[in-house]
Amino acid sequence: MNFASDNTAGISAPILSAIEAANTGFSPSYATDALTREVESRMAEIFEHPVSVFVVTTGTAANALSLAALAPPWTAVLASHDAHVMTDECGAVEMFSGGARVTGIDGAYAKIDAEALRARLDDWPRGRPHALQPGALTISQASEFGAVWTPPEIEAIGAIAKAHGIGLHMDGARFANAVAALDCAPADISWRAGVDILSFGATKNGAMGAEAIVVFTPAVAETLEKRRMRSGHLVSKSRFVAAQWLAYLRDGHWLELAAHANAMAARLAAAIDASPGARLAAPTEANEVFAWLTDDIIGALRAAGAVFHEWPRHGGAGGESMVRLVASFATSTSETDRFGEILKA
């Protein structure tokens, strides 16, 4: 019963086989190989739009490089207060951009409120050399509280960003889970809704270490090749990252993996909702479940072998804590059902 993170799961069988298949013969290095070029072509098909693609191995690199391409050092990057770039990346955006500062915006379930964003940008002191200028807006899909951004929601804040002259970045560490949950075209929650650049993650959904910066706005891509090299994230044997991406995207494998993870999260949420000693803390829309559990239930679950994290940034009533449970492509129904049985007991 390991619900600590989707990062703790292994590699899906087709992706593992693709890595092995790429391990034959010789191949050009530093993203000049045929497989890496094929990834860009495949991404263009998936997103129904010309794209520039830069493969990297970590989500932090994808986010920081993407935002550095949008936000000069003298600007601010607007994000949810709970955004991964703000709370969990150790100032990577500030370092990779040369000084752009991440600043928080309010919103429920780690989603940015459109009116709060509009008010913040409308009141921003412009043209003063003493003040940071707005440089970029970033959102997470799904959010850090498991909330999925719908196309109209993205379009609304994307329009606000464009009206104020700033680019829109999406941290898509769980982009596949959002697409599967919404049953929409990838384009509907990316460039069609106003996203300029996407950190498209596969690692949390069955890959070994495969992330991609997908650029929909050509001008944004101009410096990324140099930024990736300068930051140390140009992979020498990039064919092994590219092979993962091609297997991931082939025949909808990425969506099958994500749909399974989402379904397992829904089973966990249903078990929590039916328990008198537990309650959901947020709607379960993708593969993350947030809940309030009493301390004795937490103890019983852990004694039975359940692994999950308490969410210390959010305190509840006396004797209970917020926890996060994450389902993955490898989560089984036996695990979720056992979790539910312990709750009942």
The answer to whether residues 207 and 234 belong to one domain is yes
Q: List the domain range (segments joined by +) for residue 278.
A: 255-344
Looking at the chain, the whole-number percentage of residues with pLDDT higher than 90 is: 92
CA distance 326 to 308: 8
Tell whether 74 is covered by a domain.
Answer: yes
pTM of the model: 0.95
Tell whether 1 is covered by a domain.
Answer: no
The answer to whether residues 121 and 170 belong to one domain is yes
| Last residue of one domain, picked from the residues 253, 271, 290 | 253
**Mean pLDDT, residues 144-169:** 97
Assign 127 a pLDDT band (cuts: 50, 70, 90): confident
| pLDDT one-digit tens code per residue, 275-330 | 888 999 999 999 999 999 998 999 999 999 999 999 876 555 667 889 999 999 99
Which distant-in-sequence residues (6+ apart) come within 8 Å of 162 by Cβ? 168, 194
The answer to whether residues 221 and 325 belong to one domain is no
pLDDT in the model for residue 344: 87
pLDDT over 90 at 11, yes or no: yes
CA distance 241 to 61: 14
Assign 130 a pLDDT band (cuts: 50, 70, 90): confident
The answer to whether residues 131 and 244 belong to one domain is yes
Q: Are 261 and 5 in contact (CB under 8 A)?
A: no
The answer to whether residues 31 and 137 belong to one domain is yes
Which distant-in-sequence residues (6+ apart) come within 8 Å of 69 by Cβ? 197, 215, 220, 221, 223, 224, 227
Q: Are 288 and 142 in contact (CB under 8 A)?
A: yes
**Mean pLDDT, residues 138-149:** 97
pLDDT in the model for residue 224: 96
- When divided into structural domains, the chain yields a total of 2
Tell whether 287 is covered by a domain.
Answer: yes
| pLDDT one-digit tens code per residue, 184-194 | 999 999 999 99
| Residue 338 CB burial class (10 angstroms; 0-12, 13-18, ≥19) | middle
CA distance 35 to 50: 18
The answer to whether residues 233 and 334 belong to one domain is no
| pLDDT one-digit tens code per residue, 177-233 | 999 999 999 999 999 999 999 999 999 999 999 999 999 999 999 999 999 999 999
Which residue, 214, 139, 142, 137, is CA-closest to 176?
A: 142
The answer to whether residues 151 and 244 belong to one domain is yes
| Last residue of one domain, picked from the residues 253, 273, 293 | 253
DSSP state of 150: P
**Mean pLDDT, residues 266-270:** 97
pLDDT in the model for residue 314: 58
pLDDT in the model for residue 315: 58
pLDDT in the model for residue 107: 94
